[in-house]
Amino acid sequence: MGKRIQKKKDLKSAFLFLLKLNLFLLPFYAIIYFDVTYYPLQIAFSWVVLFLTNLMGFNVKMDGAMLYIGESNYPVYISFDCIGWKSSYSLIALVLASPGLVRKKAAFIAKWVPVIIAINIARVVIAIGSGVLINFEFMKALHDYILQPVMILIVFLVWSGYIKSLSKEDKIYSIRK
């Protein structure tokens, strides 16, 4: 009888988590569906990437959100998706949908979203560096098939760190929380 009650509580907790997660992800889906962008953020991100890649000795030029890499001026467009908003938003939605006190969630988000953004900047710089040092076809493959999945994995690992940081009482869902 005890295990049956526990399974019902686990199912209720899972259902509440998925319900809250999907509600928090509605704006995420709307941004994607309506193709919302914020060009000044793309420009700012491009400047950071330009600064770091030039600091590393790579010949990179910028025109708006377009970076031109190397002597061949290989074009790389820093799209709205490149800035890492999906990773940051996903982490925020996962944490907010999880159990726990709001102040703990806010502190965790304030600490880890900048880290996710920094990792994303490193991801783009690594991709560009691989294009310069190896070749630009490798850069595309590295970006699409290795660095993007690694970014998703990092978001889930950071979120699992949040879940592991919760005490047993925090992990129990309460409708009043």
What per-residue confidence (pLDDT) applies to 171?
Answer: 63
With 70 as the cut, is the pLDDT of residue 33 above it? yes
What per-residue confidence (pLDDT) applies to 175?
Answer: 45
With 80 as the cut, is the pLDDT of residue 3 above it? no
What per-residue confidence (pLDDT) applies to 5?
Answer: 66
- Domain edges within the chain: 2-171
What per-residue confidence (pLDDT) applies to 167?
Answer: 80
With 70 as the cut, is the pLDDT of residue 1 above it? no
**Amino acid making up residue 47:** W
What per-residue confidence (pLDDT) applies to 133?
Answer: 95
Please report, rounded to a whole number, the percentage of residues in the chain having pLDDT higher than 90. 86
Over residues 117-174, the pLDDT tens digits come to: 999 999 999 999 999 999 999 999 999 999 999 999 999 999 999 999 998 766 665 5
What per-residue confidence (pLDDT) applies to 9?
Answer: 82
What per-residue confidence (pLDDT) applies to 44?
Answer: 98
CB 170 within 8 A of CB 100: yes
**Mean pLDDT lowest for which of 9-13, 77-81, 85-89, 109-113?**
9-13
Over residues 76-100, the pLDDT tens digits come to: 999 999 999 999 999 999 999 999 9
- Radius of gyration for the alpha carbons in the chain, expressed in angstroms and rounded: 20
